Structure 1
Amino acid sequence: MILLLKLCSIVFVLKLLLPRVCHCQLLFSSNVDPDFSRTPCELIESRKFICEEHFVTTDDGYILALHHIINPVYKRLGKKLIKPLVLQHGLLGSSTHFLTNSNGGFAADWTNETVSVDLTVEGRNLAFLLANIGYDVWMPNSRGNKYSKNHTTLDPNQDSSFWQISFDEMISYDCPAVIDYVLSKTGFDHLGWIGHSQGSLIMFGMLAERPEYTDKVKPFVALAPIAHVEHIKSPIRYITLIPGAMRLVKTLGGELSLPSFLLDILSEKVCGRRIVRQVCGSALFLLCGYDPDQFNYTRTPVYYSHAMGGTSAWNLLHFGQNILNRNFLKFDYGFFGNIFRYGSLYPPAYNLEAIQSENIVLIRSNNDPFADSQDVQILKASLKHPHIDFLVQDQKFNHLDFIWAKNVYEQVYGPMLGILERFN
């Protein structure tokens, strides 16, 4: 918290000083990509697709925003879509994570042989790639992020109970609500789910707890698959070692995000400066794995502006608890809270061995500090039914490369398209 306050102070001073120093303005000249400030629908419409924003109310009253991409070419020609696909973002993310990797991805008639598409650029934004091929793409935003901060009765600015949530509630309420809503809107009896990071964790949890959804999710593609986190190598691990830090986070709770003005400063005024972009990119490597060759530094402001979708402090705390507990457990409310909630002293584990699905695809890499190889092996051993296991060949491929790498089509999305065809 002290470090965050220091960072805020430094950035505030930069905001005041940089515009007033003409020489610095010349040195740090920037040309910020228009994607920097676009909303999800603006990003979608800028690529000539049609955007629909839907709102789904969960059984416990949270209102989730879903962004739906409609391919105008398929709509005009009356072509049948392959199937609905849900793209679920990870921790701190939002639907924009699947829309911002390149300035490409425009709606195109792929049936016209005269259309030439460079997939190494056009294929970097997963949502646009899938929509162009003929999938019906839906992108939910998890409760508590900046697009899903609504509730039928609770005010996130007034009611602290709004923020007393973690991925447990995403598993119990958000996943089923999204699946049922999309199926009801599309008329299909099943859909595909592509989850990145936490977006995979909540599906593992739901399939373990709700076996009746097994036949509704075909396939489940886990990008950077996460369930167990005991071997996580990100600096997030060291927060759990600070005396009293976990207790303080639980007591304070609330929203985990950065103020919009601070994100704007970091994205445009700081990281938008040509001379600083590489420094900002390197900061992400500290958290998510080192792979400078595949990081597009010219889009650093875009990545920073869309990186922090927000979540609850308790959600991050839940990850910390499972690092310490060395298991995939439900939220630990403490001695009395656990007795009240679970009827036991300790939170129960998600029983991954209960997963019945044979339609699971793991896509993983060896340079991922969040989805650590040892943790993935524990996950694989827990899955008692056959599944597909795909290892990314690029040995430097990291956690955020699954959404932001320059070679993501070659390493992940291209092979994944072939895997998806097996389930159509």
Structure 2
Amino acid sequence: MREKIGDLITVMLSLLLLLLLLLSSYTKSVDLEFYLDTPEVIKSWGYPVEVHNVTTKDGFILQLHRIPYGRDSPISSLDDRPRPVIFLQHGFLCSSFDWVANLPHQSAGFVFADAGFDVWLGNFRGNTYSRKHVTLNPDKDREFWNWSWDQISKYDLPAMIGKALEVSGAESLYYTGFSMGTLTMFAKLSVDPSFSRYIKKYFALAPVGTIKYARGVFSFLGRHFGANYQEYVTKYGSDELFGSSWLFKKIVKYTCGLFDTLEELCSDITMLFVGTSSENWNQTRVPVYLAHTPAGSSSNVMAHLDQMFSYGGIPAYDMGEEKNVQKYGQKLPPQYNFTSISDIPIHLFWSEDDWLSTKQDLQETLFTQLNPQVVQVTISFFFTISLGSYQISNYNHLHFIWGTDAVDKIYKRIIDIVSVGLT
């Protein structure tokens, strides 16, 4: 029976590939960035780029991408004074590509470089650029994938930020996180308050404390399949989740990149996950986005997010009573508590139109637990100031990194805030 199923799958894949080849002569051209990796994208726009590797304490080898200065920065001016270091960290199933996904005048990585920053782009373990370990093989050893965002917070963030500080020579940097890039930093600061000495200011885009009130497709999947998925992962162990593959890229190219109507359909489907607001969104870039995202993670992370959705709060990963007792010394996983975060200015950028970082979740976690004295408020034309944060209207979850006007609503705001501190 298994052999017949295997033969059927082989035939179906062969037919699919044949169909893609037939369609290839009719597909419209896609942007060059569709085919390039992050360093190649940076080079293609005329910016300098460096690739650095760092090994975490638990053996994962992470790749960082650096844009040391802007495209039009004269080399001689680099010695005038040290450039402020800004570290940009992506979210779940994403990669460093997030920050250079649009045109240079619309992408955070390029905008910050041109504004005089030393820009560092992080990559969490398990994504396209961080699939290496000192002893484990991601394609053969399931133990490679046995981690959740707890380990990302504990090991990946200090390793990457430490590397950026070591190479740049700076003592501290400006941290900008998106989605899970914020959750992991909040968790890190809550269990290790001393880590704040490495962060001058913390800019949290689409910040996540928990996702109990998430809406859209993730909410539907969590309600109907979350418990079964958690049970499956607990029973059979973790594995790679949505890793980047050439087959997926082919499908994207010959569907989303085939006709304008299919391109629009792919954009609409994407909105079902993150929020329906589609203003300030370059629909023609959707094939490029999907060629790089999802970039891969561990199925444990998805199970962990399902637990947060099901039970609320900010729990460590629930591995089942027996393993919980072994690891945590109790049957239930401990909860992260953000009230201990201090001595670091935090700027929150959020929207009521975001289906993954909802106002209800923020009210129950970040707005309640964060010390009001560390959440900074600066009045701006673009924002509604609420509960010590920047509320941006008509923004879905992905607008914070891919919105065509994110430069004016977010990145220039960050540049202005940093500039005040430098003067």
Normalising by structure 1, report the TM-score.
0.88
**Which of residues 255, 259, 263 in structure 2 aligns to 1:270?**
255
How far off is 1:7 after superposition?
A: 12
How far off is 1:419 after superposition?
A: 2.2
Is the 2:266–2:286 contact (alpha carbons within 8 Å) kept by the matching residues of 1?
A: yes
How far off is 1:222 after superposition?
A: 0.3
Task: Sort the Cα spacing of 1:423 and 1:330 in 2 relative to 1 into closer, same or farther, 3 A.
Answer: farther
Partner of 1:370: helix, strand, or coil? coil
Could you tell me which runs of 5 or more consecutive residues in structure 2 were left unpaired when the two chains were aligned. 1-7, 377-387
**Which of residues 15, 18, 23 in structure 2 aligns to 1:16?**
18
How far off is 1:404 after superposition?
A: 1.1
1:44-70 residue CA offsets vs partner (Å, 9 max, x unmatched) = 111211111100111111111000112
Are 1:99 and 2:100 an aligned pair? Answer: yes
**In structure 2, what is the Cα distance between the partners aligned to 1:358 and 1:244?**
40
Task: Sort the Cα spacing of 1:47 and 1:20 in 2 relative to 1 into closer, same or farther, 3 A.
Answer: closer
Aligned residue number for residue 387 of structure 1: 375
Task: Sort the Cα spacing of 1:307 and 1:77 in 2 relative to 1 into closer, same or farther, 3 A.
Answer: same
Task: Sort the Cα spacing of 1:80 and 1:161 in 2 relative to 1 into closer, same or farther, 3 A.
Answer: same
Aligned residue number for residue 311 of structure 1: 297
- Structure 1 window deviating more from structure 2 (189-198 vs 226-235): it is 226-235
**In structure 1, what is the Cα distance between the partners aligned to 2:280 and 2:184?**
28
Within-5 A mapping of 1:172-183: 172-183=154-165
Is the 2:146–2:237 contact (alpha carbons within 8 Å) kept by the matching residues of 1?
A: no
Is the 1:281–1:295 contact (alpha carbons within 8 Å) kept by the matching residues of 2?
A: no
**Which of residues 198, 214, 232 in structure 1 aligns to 2:180?**
198
**In structure 1, what is the Cα distance between the partners aligned to 2:10 and 2:352?**
34
Aligned residue number for residue 143 of structure 2: 161
1:359-387 residue CA offsets vs partner (Å, 9 max, x unmatched) = 11101111101100111122111012331
**Which of residues 273, 277, 280 in structure 2 aligns to 1:291?**
277
Are 1:249 and 2:233 an aligned pair? Answer: yes
How far off is 1:8 after superposition?
A: 11
**In structure 2, what is the Cα distance between the partners aligned to 1:339 and 1:422?**
49
**In structure 1, what is the Cα distance between the partners aligned to 2:13 and 2:96?**
27
Is the 1:101–1:403 contact (alpha carbons within 8 Å) kept by the matching residues of 2?
A: no
Instruction: Tell me which stretches of 4 or more aligned residues in structure 1 moved more than 6 Å.
Output: 6-12
**Which of residues 322, 347, 351 in structure 2 aligns to 1:361?**
347
* Number of aligned positions between the proteins: 395
**Which of residues 261, 273, 294 in structure 1 aligns to 2:246?**
261
Residue 16 of structure 1 aligns to which amino acid in structure 2?
Answer: L
Task: Sort the Cα spacing of 1:61 and 1:34 in 2 relative to 1 into closer, same or farther, 3 A.
Answer: same
Residue 264 of structure 1 aligns to which amino acid in structure 2?
Answer: K
Is the 1:219–1:423 contact (alpha carbons within 8 Å) kept by the matching residues of 2?
A: no
Within-5 A mapping of 1:15-414: 15-20=17-22, 25-26=25-26, 29-71=27-69, 73-78=73-78, 79-102=80-103, 105=104, 122=105, 124-241=106-223, 242=225, 244-250=228-234, 251-258=236-243, 260-275=245-260, 276-378=262-364, 379-384=366-371, 385-388=373-376, 389-393=388-392, 395-414=393-412
How far off is 1:266 after superposition?
A: 2.8
How far off is 1:299 after superposition?
A: 1.4
1:91-142 residue CA offsets vs partner (Å, 9 max, x unmatched) = 000000000122xx2xxxxxxxxxxxxxxxx1x1000000011111011100
Residue 132 of structure 2 aligns to which amino acid in structure 1?
Answer: N
Normalising by structure 2, report the TM-score.
0.88
Partner of 1:85: helix, strand, or coil? strand
Task: Sort the Cα spacing of 1:359 and 1:259 in 2 relative to 1 into closer, same or farther, 3 A.
Answer: closer
Task: Sort the Cα spacing of 1:338 and 1:74 in 2 relative to 1 into closer, same or farther, 3 A.
Answer: farther
Task: Sort the Cα spacing of 1:81 and 1:302 in 2 relative to 1 into closer, same or farther, 3 A.
Answer: farther
Aligned residue number for residue 383 of structure 2: none
How far off is 1:399 after superposition?
A: 0.3
Is the 1:94–1:141 contact (alpha carbons within 8 Å) kept by the matching residues of 2?
A: yes
Is the 2:128–2:244 contact (alpha carbons within 8 Å) kept by the matching residues of 1?
A: no
**In structure 2, what is the Cα distance between the partners aligned to 1:84 and 1:7?**
49
Residue 183 of structure 2 aligns to which amino acid in structure 1?
Answer: L
**In structure 1, what is the Cα distance between the partners aligned to 2:360 and 2:185?**
20
Task: Sort the Cα spacing of 1:17 and 1:244 in 2 relative to 1 into closer, same or farther, 3 A.
Answer: same
**In structure 1, what is the Cα distance between the partners aligned to 2:203 and 2:12?**
41
How far off is 1:261 after superposition?
A: 2.4
Task: Sort the Cα spacing of 1:137 and 1:57 in 2 relative to 1 into closer, same or farther, 3 A.
Answer: same
- Structure 1 window deviating more from structure 2 (70-79 vs 193-202): it is 70-79
Could you tell me which runs of 5 or more consecutive residues in structure 1 were left unpaired when the two chains were aligned. 1-5, 106-121
